[in-house]
Amino acid sequence: MEYRNLGRTGVKVSEICLGCMMFGGRTDTEDSADIIDRAIDEGVNFLDTANVYSTGASEEAVGKALKRNGKRDAIVLATKVHGVMDEEDPNASGNHRRHIIEQCEASLIRLQVDYIDLYQIHRPDSQIPIDETLRALDDLIRAGKVRYVGTSTYAAWQLVEALWAAKELGLNRFVSEQPPYHLLDRRIERELVPFAQTYGVALIPWSPLAGGFLTGKYSRDESQSPEDSRYGIQPRRMGRNHFTDESFDVLEAVQAIAGEKGCTPGQVALAWCKDMPGITSPIIGPRTMEQLEDNLGTVEVALDENDHERLDAVAPPGRATVPYYEADFGPHPFRWG
């Protein structure tokens, strides 16, 4: 396992980040702890969750696992805030001070920790001025409850605005961004990657396997997804748009390279993502120990120039091979083009 700087901070994080979205939900607490232990044993020191994952249950599962193994101090622990935590409370969502402060306190309790290493704004909020958000986050840092702050699914222009505001107001700045990035969607290469490289912002891509599509579990001939798969359970969410001829062209290229290298398609797709310019640590989201083991095998896979040329031919740089459904994700900063 290699370790990379978390942007300009100097903090070292593993080249793979363990995403904990499934923990406390589809993956029960005991299995979640076993997966976390195994990942840490293999050198993963970067864990990412969010308050909205199973409405706090993911954070609780992560907290119990770190309490059990006693390795919290060696972990760079990340969580997020923004989403709705109480349907009946109009203030229980968004990027305003009240929600951020309230949810940070709640996350600390669920995670059973004294501080959060990386506290991230889960989505942009056009109704809240960026200085409102930054001041709340800055107060949390000064109070010792948060070490660093970041974002998820922000556009480059939004991050430039945030850096400008932080500099003007003397506030702590965002050090990382979590964008969607995989072989079916390479739009961040246009502006976000150059921005990150210029300003020293870590890129922590989510869904590097396109929600499991690039693992090879689906084929052109299947009219329905496997029942226990993500798309089988939630076919409209995060993937209905993947099932196109262009997407399967990409998948078949990935499968061909995997066959030549004696590894799995998922390992090829993840290796491609983690070693692209500007990328710090893609987030894996295993539901089972078997999936984790497959993801961890990625560190032994290396792609050469010819592999990249073959993948570029079916997945052109800077472009997406699938349409984006705003109804599935909400407003998306990369939706134009």
Catalytic positions: 53
Burial (CB < 10 A; 0-12, 13-18, 19+), residue 276, is buried
- Beta-carbon contacts of 213 under 8 Å, excluding residues fewer than 6 positions away, are 184, 231, 239, 242, 247, 251
The residue to which tokens 């709705």 are assigned: 84
Yes or no: say if 124 and 160 are a contact pair by the CB < 8 Å rule: no
Q: 285: helix, coil or strand?
A: coil
Yes or no: say if 271 and 16 are a contact pair by the CB < 8 Å rule: no
Per-position DSSP letters for 185-240, written without gaps between them: B-GGGTTHHHHHHHHT-EE--B-TTGGGGGGT---TT-SS--TTSHHHHSTTSS-G
CA-CA distance, 143 to 125, in Å (whole number)? 24
Which of the 8 DSSP states describes residue 324?
-
- Beta-carbon contacts of 309 under 8 Å, excluding residues fewer than 6 positions away, are none
Write out the two tokens for 261: 């290298």
Write out the two tokens for 245: 């001829």
Torsion of CA 195, 200, 206, 208, to 10 degrees: 80
Q: Please state whether 93 falls in left (phi above 0), alpha (psi between -120 and 50) or beta.
A: beta
Yes or no: say if 163 and 176 are a contact pair by the CB < 8 Å rule: no
CA-CA distance, 327 to 258, in Å (whole number)? 33
